[in-house]
Structure 1
Amino acid sequence: MSAPKRRLSWNDPSVRSVVYQVLALAAVGFAVWYLVSNTLTNLSARNISTGFGFLSREAGFAIGESAIAYTPADTYGRAVMVGLVNTLKIAALGIVLATILGTLIGIARLSKNWLVHKLARIYVEVMRNVPLLLQLFFWYALLTENAAGPRQAANPLPGVFISNRGLTMPSLEGQALDWMLGGLILAILCTILLGHWGRKHQEKTGRVFPLGRAALGLFIGLPLIGWLLSGASLALNVPELKGFNFVGGVTLSPEFAALLAGLVIYTSAFIAEVVRSGIQAVNQGQWEAAGSLGLKRGQVLRLVVLPQALRVIIPPMTSQYLNLTKNSSLAVAIGYPDIVSVVNTTLNQTGQAIEGILIIMAAYLTVSLSISIFMNWYNKRIALVER
C-alpha cells in the first residue's frame, strides 16, 4: 500500500520554513549583487582600476622586519606574504606564551598562599582593565625612549646588547643547526607519544612513567645526536658594533618585543580567569578523593583536576586565541610590519583600497577559522563520551 501523498499547505510549518529561508537567501543575494554592482559602476566612472593584477607589480618599498627573504624589487604579492608571515609569527608565539603565563597565573589565583593569591588577582584586574593599545604604547616607549643608541648600548652578557635598535644576541649558524632543529622536533613528537603510552601504561599497571626525566633526556640527547651526525659543524655568530649599528647575530626589534609583550600580558589575564573558572568547575570531591590516595596537591592538579577542567576551559580559550590573533592588527600603531601595515602601504601606493581590505579580511578569516577548526577538533577529542 503506497503512502499518501503529502499536500503542500501554508499551514504546514515545514512549508513556511522553506519559503522563509528561500526569501531570506534571495534578499541576501540581491543585497550582495546590488553592492558589488554599485561599487564597480562607481569605480568605473572614476577610472579606478579593479582586480588583483597589482599583486604582480614591483612593490618598491622596504619592510623593516621580515621572516622570509624580501627586497623592494619584489612584487606586492611578496610584500603581502611577508606581512602575513609576520602576523602568523607574532600570533603563534603570543598564543604559546600567553597560554603558559595565563595558566600559571590562573593556578596562582587559587593558591592557599595569601601573597601569591593577592598578587595574581591584582595582575588580572589591572591588565584586563587597561586597554591593549595603551599597553602597546607603554612597552614601546619603555623599549625605545629609555634605551641608548648602539654605541652606548648596555652589555649585560658577553655578546648581548640592549639598545634602541632592540635586543641583539649571538646566533647559531652552520649545517648542524638544521640537524639540531630536526632533533628538537623529533624530541617533541617522541615526548607526545611517550606521554600517551605512559597514560595507557599507568591505567594497566598503576605505575607512573617518569615522563619528565625521559623528556629531558630526549630534548638534550636528540639535538646532540643531530649535531654529531652533521659533523659538529656549528658556529656562533657574535654581533659586533660596526659604524652606527651591530653586524652579525640576531636582533629582536623593539616593535616586535613591544607587540609580543603587550599581547601576551593582556591576553594572559583573560586566560588566567578561564583557567581559574575551569578548575573551580571540577567537583571538590575530586580533590578529596585523589588526596585520599596519597597524591600531592601538584599531582592532583596535574593528573586529576586539569584533565577534567580542560572540557570547560577549551571553548572560552578558543575565543581568547582568536582575540589575540585579531588584536595583533594593532601592530600598525607601533610600526611592526604585520599584514595590516603592509597592505595599508600597498593600497596607498596603488589606490586599490577595496582589494586591500579584502586581502586583510581573507587573511584574518582564514587564520581564525583554522584556529577554530583545530580547537573544536581538540574539544571533541577530550569530550566525555556517553555509553
Structure 2
Amino acid sequence: MVFYWGWRISQEGMKPSVQARRTAALAYLALLPFIMFLLLRVLYLQHDPDPVMQNRWEVSFPFMDKVNTFKINPWPMEVVANFDTRWMFLKAAVINSARVTLLSIVLCVILGTIVGVTRLSSNKLASTMATVYVEIFRNLPLAVLLFLIATQYGLQAPLFIEERFLLGGAVFYSNQGIWFVTVASYQRLVMGLVALALLRAALRHMDRIEPRFIITPRTPQEHLRRPFSTLGWRLEALASDILLIFAAVIFINFLVPFVSTNGGGIEAFIAMAIIVYALSVTSKLDDDGMNALQIDDSESGLRKRFTIWVAAFAVAAGIAVSKGLSWPDYIKDRNGDGVIDSPGAWDIAEGTGFEITPFFLAMILGLTLFTASTIAEIVRGSIQSLPRGQVEAAISLSLNPFQRLRLVILPQALRSMVPLFNNQFMNVWKNSSLAVIVAYSDIFYVILVMMNNVGKLIPLFILLLITYQAGSLAISAVMNWYNTRVTSVKI
C-alpha cells in the first residue's frame, strides 16, 4: 500500500512543495505502526508484573537526587563520590563535554582553514602535504584515531619522576598531564581584557562616520532593540559597544559560579539573556547602517594604530600579572619534614599552574585532527567555487596574496562555508560521546555508568537524548544567526 501511494504521488503533476508535503505525510503514515508498537511496548514494560522490570522502565527521576558512587575527572567543577548527587555529576559531565566541544571547534576551524588554503598553494610541497593530511585523517575512523592518540601519548610521554620542564619551569609535561604557568588572579585577567575592549570601543568611536541614512525607530519593538537612539548616531553606537562589554563582564561573573559550584543556575541564565540582548542591539545597529567606520589605512595611520595596540596589550598584560604568576610547584616532600618521599608520591601542588589532563588532551587532538580534515575540504571547495574574476580583480588592485585571501576571497567564500560548518560543529558535539575510549568523563560515559549502577534505562536515555538535542539546537541557532550576518542575499 505504501509503495502504491508513493507511486501515485510521483505520477501526479503537482508542485514540488506540495509533493514534498504529501511524501512526508506518507512517510509518517508508514512509520506510524512502528511508532505505536514501540509506545505500546514501553507502556507494557512500565506495567510489567515483575517489580524489578517495572522499576527499571519507570519514567521518574527521584534516583538522581541520591549520592553518586563513582569518580570522574571534571573541571572546573569538582564533584565528590559518595557525597554529591547524580544531578551534580551529570552537570559536571555536561560541562566536560561542552568545553572539549567548544575548544575543538575553535582549533579545527583554524587548522582546517590553514590546510584548506594550503591545498590551493602553488608550492607543490605544501599542497601535497596538505592533501596527504586530508586523505589520512578524513578516512581514518575517529574511534581508531582516539585510541592511537591515547596509547601513543602514554607510551611516548616521559614519566612523572623524570621532571621534564620547558621554558625555565613555565611548562611541566609528563604522561600524567601538562602543567602551564598561569596568572595568580583571574579577576585581574578579566580586568585587562575589559581594558582592551574599552580601547577597541574608543577607537571605533573615533573611526565612526555619519551614516548616509539615519533610520529612526518607530515601533516599540524597534525602540527595544535600539534603546540609545535618542543619544544621536555617534553616541548611540558607543553606548551599544559599552553595553556589550558590561554584558560580557556580567555573564563571566555569573558563569564562573555556575560551572564551578552547584549553584548559580538562574543568575547564569539571566546573564546569558542580557548578553543576547546586547548582541541584538549591536546587530540592529549594523542592520540599520549606524556602525559605518572609516579606518585610516595609510602607512602612518597603521603605524599609529599598531603602536596604540602594543601599548594597550602591555598595560593589559601588566594588569593581568599584577598579582603575580602561578608556577607549577613540583613537590617531593609532602610532609615538609625534609625527607624526600618515594617517587610514587611526587606531585604538582594543588592550585599551582594550569593543568591539562591527558584525557582532555587526547580528546582535543582527536576531534581537532579528524574534523579539520573535513573543514579543509569545505574551505577548499568554497574558495574554488568563487568566480575567477574576483581573484583577478584583487590582483589588479595590487593586493598581496595574504591581502587577497583576507579581504576578497575568504569573506565571499564564507557565505558557502557557514552552512557546512554548522554540520561539522554538530558532529563535533555528537562525536564527543566517543570520550569513553580515552577515559574522559563526558555525558555518555556518566550516563552509561549510571545505567549499570541504577538500572533506570528509560529516564537516563531521556536525559541523554535531551542533552545532546539541546546542544545540537544551540549550535544550530548560533550558526543560523551568524549565517544571516554573513549572507547578503537570502533565498
Please confirm whether the aligned pair reaches a TM-score higher than 0.5, indicating the same fold: yes
Q: Per the shorter chain, which TM-score range?
A: 0.7 to 0.9
What RMSD, in angstroms, separates the aligned Cα atoms of the two structures? Answer: 3.4
| Counterpart contact for 1:180–1:224, Cα < 8 Å | no
Which aligned pairs between 1:362-381 and structure 2 lie closer than 5 A?
A: 362-381=466-485
- SS of alignment partner, residue 161 of structure 1: strand
In 2 relative to 1, CA 189–352 (structure 1 residues): closer, same or farther, beyond 3 Å? farther
What does residue 123 of structure 2 align with?
113
Query: How big is each residue's C-alpha offset from its partner over 1:258-298, in whole Å with a ceiling of 9 and x where there is no partner?
Result: 11101101110100010111111111101111211222221
Query: What is the correspondence of 1:1-387 to structure 2 with a 5 Å cutoff?
Result: 24=29, 27=32, 30=36, 33-42=39-48, 46-48=53-55, 50=58, 51-72=60-81, 73-159=83-169, 160-174=171-185, 177-184=186-193, 187=196, 200-202=292-294, 210=302, 218-225=312-319, 232-242=322-332, 243-247=345-349, 248-385=352-489
Residue identity matched to 1:385: V
Q: Partner letter of residue 318 of structure 2?
A: L
Matched residue of 2:101: which SS? helix
Deviations 1:99-146 (A, max 9, x none): 001001111111111111111111111111111111111111121122
* AA at the equivalent of 1:240: Y
1-side partners of 2:377 and 2:310: how far apart?
30
Stretch of structure 1 that moved more, 206-215 or 78-87? 206-215
Check the 8 A contact 1:181/1:223 in 2, yes or no.
Answer: no
- Structure 1 stretch 337-346 or stretch 232-241: which is displaced more? 232-241
Over 3 Å counting, the alpha-carbon distance change for 1:386 and 1:30 in structure 2 is closer
Using the TM superposition, give the Cα deviation of residue 250 of structure 1 relative to its aligned residue in structure 2, in angstroms.
2.7
Task: Report the CA distance between 1:324 and its aligned residue.
Answer: 1.1
Deviations 1:52-82 (A, max 9, x none): 1111111122212332121111000000011
Offset at 1:88?
A: 0.3
Contact 2:119/2:127 (<8 A) preserved? yes
Distance 1:104 1:183, change over 3 A: same
CA apart distance, 1:169 = 2.8
Partner SS state of residue 167, structure 1: strand
Q: Check the 8 A contact 1:147/1:153 in 2, yes or no.
A: no
Q: 1:41–1:54: structure 2 CA closer, same or farther, 3 Å change rule?
A: same
Q: Which sections of structure 2, spanning at least 5 residues, go unmatched?
A: 1-13, 209-290, 333-344
Per-residue CA distance 1:217-261 (angstroms, 9 max, x = gap): 55443353466xxxx323423321332322232321111111110
Secondary structure (helix, strand or coil) at the match of 2:293 reads helix
Q: What letter corresponds to residue 40 of structure 1 in structure 2? A: Q
Task: Give the aligned partner of residue 10 of structure 1.
Answer: none
Cα shift at 1:306 = 1.0
TM-score, scaled relative to structure 1? 0.83
Query: Where does residue 4 of structure 1 map in the other structure?
Result: none
Q: Distance in 2 between matches of 1:310 and 1:148?
A: 42
Instruction: Name the CA distance, whole Å, in 2 between partners of 1:366 and 1:192.
Output: 34
Determine if contact 1:179/1:223 at 8 Å carries over to the other structure.
Answer: no
The CA distance in 2 between the partners of 1:217 and 1:31, in whole Å, is 69
- What letter is aligned with 1:164? N
Q: Which residue of 1 aligns with 2:225?
A: none
Between the two proteins, the alignment pairs up a number of residues equal to: 367
CA distance in 2, matches of 1:141, 1:212: 45
The 3 A distance-change label for structure 1 pair 67 and 226 is closer
Q: CA deviation at 1:155?
A: 2.5
Q: Helix, strand or coil: the match of 2:79?
A: coil
- What per-residue deviation string (whole Å, max 9, x for no partner) do you get for residues 281-336 of structure 1? 11110111121122222111111111111111111111111111111111011100
Q: Please state how far the C-alpha of 1:201 moved relative to its aligned partner.
A: 3.1
Aligned partner of residue 60 in structure 1, secondary structure: coil
| Cα separation, 1, equivalents of 2:29 and 2:199 | 52
Determine helix, strand or coil for the equivalent of 2:55.
coil
1:5 corresponds to which residue?
A: none
- Separation in 2, partners of 1:285, 1:84: 47
| Partner Cα separation in structure 2 for residue 385 and residue 280 of structure 1 | 20
